[in-house]
Amino acid sequence: MRTIKGPAIFLAQFIGDETPFNSLESICAWAKNLGYKGIQLPTTDSRFIDLQQAAESKTYADELKGKVQAAGLEITELSTHLQGQLVAVNPVYDQLFDGFALEAYRNNPKARQEWAVQQLKYAAKASQNLGLTAHATFSGALLWPMVYPWPQRPAGLVDTAFTELGQRWLPILNTFEECGVDVCYEIHPGEDLHDGITYEMFLDKVNQHPRACLLYDPSHFVLQCLDYLEYIDIYHERIRMFHVKDAEFNPTGRQGVYGGYQNWIDRAGRFRSLGDGQVDFKAIFSKLAAYDFPGWAVLEWECALKHPEDGASEGAQFIKDHIIRVTDKAFDDFAAAQTDSAFNKTLLGI
């Protein structure tokens, strides 16, 4: 067993135009002051990272890493959630997802996808240059508009979509393999990889690729009514990243999983700040420790009620309190008897 690293914080929900959230140096100082030890860094804002340069220049990557270390922090992982989304987009979402790409690639789905694929490949090399071993992303989605089979899905549609998804991701996964970095898909509604079954279908299409790993976030499973503890038992060998995010699901006679088109504040299923929801984090941290999870416990703050700065402040201590410093000895060692194989055989009558 090993002790989970942390606490760390995903910066995506905090980056902004006001100090201390508008530069890498100032946001690192803010995070350190709250008690964080690491930052998970999104890659779409050039004020914080030039992804291409980090991929092509080890000197730049070292300088970036040095800025973070000067604040007393580590970069835990890079994130390409938005670029990963653009690897596979159903045309119904073209206009909505155009905002995830640079303006030069909008209104051109083919060019936008090519840009996204290149971004992922840059992220693989940038992660290698930064000395990172895991990377966070989304899978994208071709099938999500057909998630509920009405009208009936045509025969072969699902297999065709996952075959295509696998073909798009396989070259990316191979690049990550060359760089020694795991691709950790955040299993998430809106993505074709949104539960265990869809992840397994994808693995079949990428030949059980060793780099096709998982970012574990229990909040998305609460909202799907999926057993998030058994999920760890099933997939722990593939879990390489951990978003510590809370959620609650309170169905009524009027509303359930689908949410009735309501805003987040009025949904039966809502993301909450750590400790305000229903996730059993004591059990999660215990399971991950027992399964020798190798990564960081990273706060992802999303809440319909609480101010983000309060969520961040409370989250650092919450994670610290839940990390289990694993033992290096059995609790009953004090009662151990000195034995040998002959004595053991005598006890067994053999």
Residue 347 has pLDDT above 90, yes or no: no
Look-up: residue for tokens 């100082």? 29
Burial degree of 50 (CB within 10 A; 0-12, 13-18, 19+): middle
Burial degree of 153 (CB within 10 A; 0-12, 13-18, 19+): middle
pLDDT for 1:
86
Burial degree of 120 (CB within 10 A; 0-12, 13-18, 19+): buried
Cβ count within 10 A of residue 23: 14
What is the CATH code for 5-348? 3.20.20.150
Of 141, 137, 204, nearest to 175 by C-alpha is 137
Q: Where are the alpha helices (DSSP H) in the chain?
A: 24-34, 51-56, 58-70, 81-85, 94-97, 109-130, 157-179, 196-205, 218-224, 228-235, 281-290, 308-322, 341-348
Residue 126 structure tokens: 């940038």
Residue 220 has pLDDT above 90, yes or no: yes
pLDDT for 80:
98
Give the containing element (helix H, strand E) for 76: strand 74-80
Confidence band for 166, pLDDT divided at 50, 70 and 90? very high
What is the percent of the chain where pLDDT is above 70? 99
Give the angle 126-132-134 at the CA atoms, nearest 5°: 100
Residue 333 has pLDDT above 90, yes or no: no
What is the percent of the chain where pLDDT is above 90? 94
Residue 109 structure tokens: 């789905």
Is the distance from CB of 250 to CB of 268 less than 8 angstroms? yes
Question: What pLDDT, in 10s, does the model give residues 282-294?
Answer: 999 999 999 999 9
Residue 54 has pLDDT above 90, yes or no: yes
Give the angle 142-229-204 at the CA atoms, nearest 5°: 35
Question: What pLDDT, in 10s, does the model give residues 222-265?
Answer: 999 999 999 999 999 999 999 999 999 999 999 999 999 999 99
Look-up: residue for tokens 């909008």? 106
Residue 224 structure tokens: 């799907």
Is the distance from CB of 203 to CB of 173 less than 8 angstroms? no
Question: What pLDDT, in 10s, does the model give residues 86-115?
Answer: 999 999 999 999 999 999 999 999 999 999
Mapped onto helix, strand or coil, the DSSP state of residue 241 is strand
Residue 202 structure tokens: 């994808």
What radius of gyration do the chain's Cα atoms show?
Answer: 22
Q: For residue 314, what are the CA distances in angstroms to 20, 34, 90, 92, 318?
A: 18, 9, 38, 39, 6
Buried b (16+ CB within 10 A) or exposed e, 186-203: bbbeebbbbbbebbebbe
Instruction: Give the CB-side neighbour count of residue 339, counting CA atoms within 13 A.
Output: 11
C-alpha span between 9 and 300 (Å, rounded): 6
- Beta bridge pairs of residue 10: 40
Averaged confidence pLDDT in the chain: 96
pLDDT for 340:
86
Cβ count within 10 A of residue 243: 22
pLDDT for 277:
98
Please give the average per-residue pLDDT across 27-39, as a whole number. 98
Is the distance from CB of 240 to CB of 295 less than 8 angstroms? yes
Question: What pLDDT, in 10s, does the model give residues 115-141?
Answer: 999 999 999 999 999 999 999 999 999
Question: What pLDDT, in 10s, does the model give residues 192-216?
Answer: 999 999 999 999 999 999 999 999 9
